[in-house]
Amino acid sequence: MQALLSQLLRDSDSNTLWIADENSKALLNGGLGFAGLLISNRWDIAQAAEAHGIRSHFGDFDLATMQATYSRIVYPVSKEKAAVHHVINRAADLLQEGGELFLLGEKSSGIKTYAQKAAQCFGCGKQLKKHGNDYLSISSLQAQSEHHSLDDSDYTQLRQLDTVGGLYSKPGLFGWNKIDTGSAILACHFADYLPNTPLNDLPADELRVVDLGCGYGYLSCRLAEIAGNPVQLSIRATDNNPAAMLACQKNFELREIEGRVIPGDAGSEIESGSADLVICNPPFHQGFQVEGDLTDRFLTQAARILRTRGTALFVVNEFIPLGKKAQGLFQQVDMLNKEKGFCVYRLTK
Ligand SMILES: C[S@@+](CC[C@H](N)C(=O)[O-])C[C@H]1O[C@@H](n2cnc3c(N)ncnc32)[C@H](O)[C@@H]1O
């Protein structure tokens, strides 16, 4: 898909909007000339774009406040249906008359269905072309056509969900409407790592915690619940996804947690040596791809962020060789538990 996307962007003018999630990352890393505006719901992508001299905006595909001035919108489709429907709906508001929405994706991305949906939303004919393994859908906006909005599951709205223990969440973030099994298993170990417990050398009254890849803040909220009042927690939660940041911030307010939510790439914006405890369920997918070096990046950052003798608690799918990857970065690496396809590790610096 990179070749097709690269060609489309190079041929585009300054009236083009590129909607870029993690599937666009490889292209930016390779360098690219693009004259338009890039909007991304990934912090690292918006940063990479700026570094390449591309105008960019980081946000949760918050397109509602933008002016309708675009002649072309280019969007390699996301993995989540609600996000794709949200973008198609908003594209119909943002394009000039005669403007075009280009959707790209491999067959397995659902592109054929999205081409149909975009045509239905714009009230135009379906145009779908095959380019090698990829497909390109083009929908053209005509003012006189009747537009039909697609169901985007109220993409922009945070909502309180029983399925995530009464916390707030929303579409657009990892596993937004469920508790991750690995995270639930990891949280069962938290009680052992609070101050004044035999396993730890943490200061008695305050615990500086970093929640790395925080999502809607499940791990931080569980830790705060388990720690209760006697322990003064100071939490920094970080993620590269603005939907996650919005939800996590809301949950800190809901649970009256002393915490800050910080954007970053695998914890890149957190000060070195500043945490007593790091808690993490690292991602291993980047868009449609499984991405092995994401785990390495999270481990390297955890080692950098921890103070000497601090502890990191990680949970990963059992097929990820975290123990091996962590050797050399930490003083001690112990597997604490193996359950339901997940492994919990304690990493000591
Ligand atoms: C497996 S989820 C865990 C979420 C949350 N901690 C939980 O337990 O429910 C991994 C998280 O890492 C985030 N993530 C993915 N790539 C990232 C990156 N490069 N930098 C920071 N966070 C990232 C995702 O947005 C997601 O929220």
What's the pLDDT tens digit per position in 55-67? 999 999 998 888 8
CA 247 from centre of chain: 12
183: Cβ below 6 Å to ligand 1?
A: yes
First to last CA, the chain: 41
Ligand 1, atom 24, lies closest to the CA of 213
Mean pLDDT on 165-177: 96
- Look at the alpha carbons of 147, 153, 154, 156 in this order and tell me if their dihedral is positive or negative: negative
Looking at ligand 1, which residue's alpha carbon is closest to its atom 3? 281
Take atom 4 of ligand 1 and give the residue whose Cα is closest. Answer: 215
User: What does the pLDDT average to over 2-18?
Assistant: 90
Domains of the chain and any CATH numbers: 2-140 (3.40.50.150), 159-348 (3.40.50.150)
Q: CB of 23 closer than 6 A to ligand 1? A: no
pTM: 0.94
Measured between alpha carbons, how far is 293 from 281 in angstroms, rounded to an integer? 14
The structure tokens 């993409």 sit at: 155
Contact 16, 70 (CB under 8 A): yes
Q: Ligand 1 pocket, 291 CB below 6 A?
A: no
Q: Residue 183 corresponds to which amino acid? A: S
| Tokens 């709205």, located at residue | 157
Which pLDDT tens digit goes with each residue over 206-223? 899 999 999 999 999 999
Q: Token pair for residue 87? A: 């973008």
- Kindly state if the Cβ of 265 falls inside 6 Å of ligand 1: yes
* 115 Cβ neighbours under 8 A, 6+ residues apart: 103, 126, 127, 128, 135, 137, 139
Amino acid residing at 275: A
Alpha helices per DSSP H over 22-70:
25-29, 43-51
Which two structure tokens, joined as six digits, stand for 250? 């809301």
Which of 142, 145, 173, 144 is closest to 157 using CA atoms? 173
Cβ atoms of 74 and 55 closer than 8 Å: no
The neighbouring-strand residues paired with 211 are 237, 279
What residues contact residue 338 under an 8 Å CB cut-off, 6+ apart?
318, 344
Whether the CB-CB separation of 245 and 263 falls below 8 Å is answered with yes
Report the C-alpha gap between 40 and 293 in whole angstroms.
Answer: 21
Q: What is the mean pLDDT of residues 266-287?
A: 92
* pLDDT cut 70: percent of the chain above it: 95
- Mean pLDDT of all residues in 308-336: 96
**How far, in Å, is the centroid of ligand 1 from the Cα of 111?**
25
Q: For residue 203, is pLDDT > 60?
A: no
Q: Is it the case that residue 202 has pLDDT exceeding 60? A: no
How far away, in angstroms, is 64 Cα from ligand 1 center? 26
- Mean pLDDT on 17-34: 84
